[in-house]
Structure 1
Amino acid sequence: MTRKPRLHPTVGTARNLVRSALEEAQVASGSLVLVACSGGADSLALAATAAHFNVSGEFRAGAVVVDHGLQAGSAEVAEAARRQLVSLGLDPVDVRTVEVPSTRTGPEAAARSARYGALDAAAAETGAAAVLLGHTLDDQAEQVLLGLSRGSGTRSLSGMPARRGIYLRPFLPLRRTETEEICRFSGLDPWHDPTNADPALTRSRVRAQVLPYLEDTLGPGIAEALYRTSRILAQDAAYLDELAAAEYERLRSTAEGAAADDGALLLSEDGLRALPPALRQRVLALAVVELGGAQPSFERLLAAENLLRRTGSAGPVQVGGNVSVYRQVRGARVPHGDPSYGNLVLRKNPRKSASK
């Protein structure tokens, strides 16, 4: 009797992680799931793991390869990935070429936006119930370090979520070396992105220099500790965000006759003062975002909070994204509305037309 080849323990762990992620997301048995694959070790290992569920019949697995066209030979890299995905039995396997525009946010953010646009479209067209992303524990550790370097808050330091909408990251508990093991076990030839070693990129320096230095200086286990920190902070951030959303709905009102997209939002000063800073700042940020502004910086939120002291200027304070906040003085009216003494007023400022 021929013995079945012994399953590599990391492969078994990877399968369990994918199965658990799909079950927690309540993806129905037999549904199509797509693997977002760059051709690198992480996403190829995820594809090989997902291919197992085609065989077991638990789920149907396909893949999407996004060619950003930012590097010479990117089309050949995408085609090599497609061939390996087909050999694994994934179906459908779709290669999508995107155009990455030049934006003020930089090439990395623009590429990310284009990539998710392509993945959204692929999921909609195929009816996929989930899209699997190959981020690992190492990616999460790098994300936390980048957040620390920027002086970010709880939400940023919690890193990438394991689940956001249809997007799942089942490999967050795995190390990058483990995805390389899976590729070797599966006979796959991953692509090594040269930008990962480019010292001009901050994330690359964190990967190649900062994390190894911390491991050498402080001892092993730094990446695992950062990942553990992200999980703890993710729970804290989710709870605080839930509380802040409830308080925002309680304190928020609009100036009479004014819509949020072109008018003013009012927040009760007394209600804001009664909140602890962690909730008060989140409530202010929610108002800014509702008006179309960007997530305010900590410094801008502190400046807005100072208006509650009723000493000094009544504003306005610019909080980012063309949104300002000021303290309504007694007897004055907000645009198109009644006097609103006792409220902070947030307004979306009209954009100045370009000079001819």
Structure 2
Amino acid sequence: MGGVPWSTTHAGVHRLLKVRPLLPRGATGLLAVSGGQDSVCLLKLLVDLRPKWSWQLRAVHCDHRWRPDSAANANFVRQLCEGWGVPCEVVTADADYATEAQARHWRYRVFEDLARQARCSHVVTGHTASDRTETLLYNLLRGSGTDGLQALAWQRPLSQDSPVAVVRPLLGLTRQQTAEFCRQFDLPIWPDATNQDTGYARNRIRLELLPYLQQHFNPGVDVTLAQTAELLTAEVELLEAMAGELYGSSVSSPDGDSEVWKIQRSPLKTAPLALQRRVLRRLLQQVTLAQISFEHVEKLVALLAAPQGSQSDPFPGGLVAVVDGDWLVLKASHAM
């Protein structure tokens, strides 16, 4: 390997990339580097594998300005990247993002802008199997359906119509393994004190719930649940494809100035309940910006077999569903 130390982790990721073309030969990758152990492990692995794959690598560090040491953290990341021949862009938050969800939304906007400017085909993040497990538990406890439980796939589009892919080559490694890799190669890590703050639900899952589950139920729970997420990913892809076909054949979008959506009941009535729910949830997501709940979808499911003239109470945004022959008609309640 031309003088680069080679480990079982290098070999494992190299093999994985041959099987899963997450970062194809010659790709231009934008690496998200926080300075923590997972992103430093990712950076080191891709730098070492770069000669074998002819990648062009760039890095980005997002400074949320949440901590007094955030500017020093950013400088640490820039120096680390440039020491390994990876140009690094530091982007500082232009506003106070109060929640992790807002901060994440901002980070991904930054990734999109930089990837476009630098003509990067892939954004690479250091998410691990442990992150996948924590996301599954977090979404399960919030009442998410299967789509939420399979979050953090190996690869997805950066945004709905983006040609740039987000890829996660470390999803096969646990956080314990990335820590061991960093120790093995004596890599410098920037400690993030906010990771110990149990005011964040995700930190409580990582610091309190997962150790409890490991101690009392299953020592390998992080790997087991990450594998569950992997199975769910494939099943969700299948269901989404089938639901897409059924949606196309049963839903009529508004014509001209009309704001009326129509769903043909007969094709849906004979479909499995899982597909009925997916099609009806997709429809509600089209007609309202509000969060769609389980109860909202079940109201529409009940109307698939309801008698003529039956109607729902209003959905978020004021729409009402009415049975009109073989059609379910969604329209504004004031238009009735």
TM value normalised by structure 1: 0.84
- Aligned partner of 1:245 in structure 2 is 244
Query: 1:94-149, CA deviations, whole angstroms, 9 ceiling, x for partnerless residues?
Result: 111123456xxx61110011000000011000001111010001001111111221
The equivalent position to 2:146 in structure 1, one of 149, 154, 170, is: 154
- Aligned partner of 2:298: which letter? L
Name whichever of 245-254 and 302-311 sits farther off: 302-311
Q: After TM superposition, give the deviation of residue 292 of structure 1 in Å.
A: 4.4
Query: 1:156-191, CA deviations, whole angstroms, 9 ceiling, x for partnerless residues?
Result: 111211101210011111011221222233432112
Contact kept in structure 2, 1:34 and 1:132, CA below 8 Å: yes
Structure 2 residue 327 is the aligned partner of structure 1 residue 343: yes
- Aligned partner of 1:72 in structure 2 is 68
- Aligned partner of 1:179 in structure 2 is 178
Name whichever of 79-88 and 120-129 sits farther off: 79-88
Distance 1:314 1:145, change over 3 A: same
Q: In the aligned structure 2, how far is the partner of 1:83 from the partner of 1:294? A: 44
- Aligned partner of 2:89: which letter? D
Q: Which segments of 5 or more consecutive residues in structure 1 lack a partner in the other structure?
A: 330-340, 351-356
**Secondary structure of the corresponding residue to residue 121 of structure 1:** helix
- Aligned partner of 1:306 in structure 2 is 302
Distance 1:344 1:211, change over 3 A: same
RMSD: 2.4
Q: In the aligned structure 2, how far is the partner of 1:44 from the partner of 1:164? A: 22
**Secondary structure of the corresponding residue to residue 304 of structure 2:** helix
- Aligned partner of 1:16 in structure 2 is 15
- Aligned partner of 1:303: which letter? K
Q: In the aligned structure 2, how far is the partner of 1:236 from the partner of 1:55? A: 36
- Residue correspondence of structure 1 range 137-216 to structure 2 within 5 A: 137-165=129-157, 166-216=165-215
- Residue correspondence of structure 1 range 113-128 to structure 2 within 5 A: 113-128=105-120
Q: After TM superposition, give the deviation of residue 55 of structure 1 in Å.
A: 3.5
- Aligned partner of 1:336 in structure 2 is none
- Aligned partner of 2:29 in structure 1 is 33
Contact kept in structure 2, 1:269 and 1:344, CA below 8 Å: yes
Q: In the aligned structure 1, how far is the partner of 2:244 from the partner of 2:129? A: 30
- Aligned partner of 1:333 in structure 2 is none
Distance 1:304 1:100, change over 3 A: farther
Q: In the aligned structure 2, how far is the partner of 1:257 from the partner of 1:276? A: 32
Contact kept in structure 2, 1:288 and 1:323, CA below 8 Å: no
Q: In the aligned structure 2, how far is the partner of 1:161 from the partner of 1:323? A: 35
- Aligned partner of 1:335 in structure 2 is none
The equivalent position to 1:85 in structure 2, one of 76, 81, 91, is: 81
Distance 1:124 1:175, change over 3 A: same
Q: Which segments of 5 or more consecutive residues in structure 2 lack a partner in the other structure?
A: 158-164
Q: In the aligned structure 1, how far is the partner of 2:244 from the partner of 2:318? A: 20
TM value normalised by structure 2: 0.89
Aligned residues: 326
- Aligned partner of 1:267 in structure 2 is 263
Q: In the aligned structure 1, how far is the partner of 2:151 from the partner of 2:286? A: 23
Distance 1:328 1:160, change over 3 A: same
Structure 2 residue 125 is the aligned partner of structure 1 residue 133: yes
Query: 1:66-121, CA deviations, whole angstroms, 9 ceiling, x for partnerless residues?
Result: 1112222211111111111111221x21111123456xxx6111001100000001
Q: In the aligned structure 1, how far is the partner of 2:38 from the partner of 2:242? A: 36
Q: After TM superposition, give the deviation of residue 16 of structure 1 in Å.
A: 3.5
Q: After TM superposition, give the deviation of residue 215 of structure 1 in Å.
A: 0.8
- Aligned partner of 2:133: which letter? A
Q: After TM superposition, give the deviation of residue 312 of structure 1 in Å.
A: 10
- Residue correspondence of structure 1 range 40-55 to structure 2 within 5 A: 40-55=36-51
Q: In the aligned structure 1, how far is the partner of 2:234 from the partner of 2:5? A: 38
The equivalent position to 1:109 in structure 2, one of 101, 115, 119, is: 101
Query: 1:268-306, CA deviations, whole angstroms, 9 ceiling, x for partnerless residues?
Result: 122222221100111111112223434522121112222
Q: In the aligned structure 1, how far is the partner of 2:193 from the partner of 2:321? A: 49
Q: In the aligned structure 2, how far is the partner of 1:303 from the partner of 1:51? A: 53
Distance 1:295 1:147, change over 3 A: same
Distance 1:109 1:9, change over 3 A: same
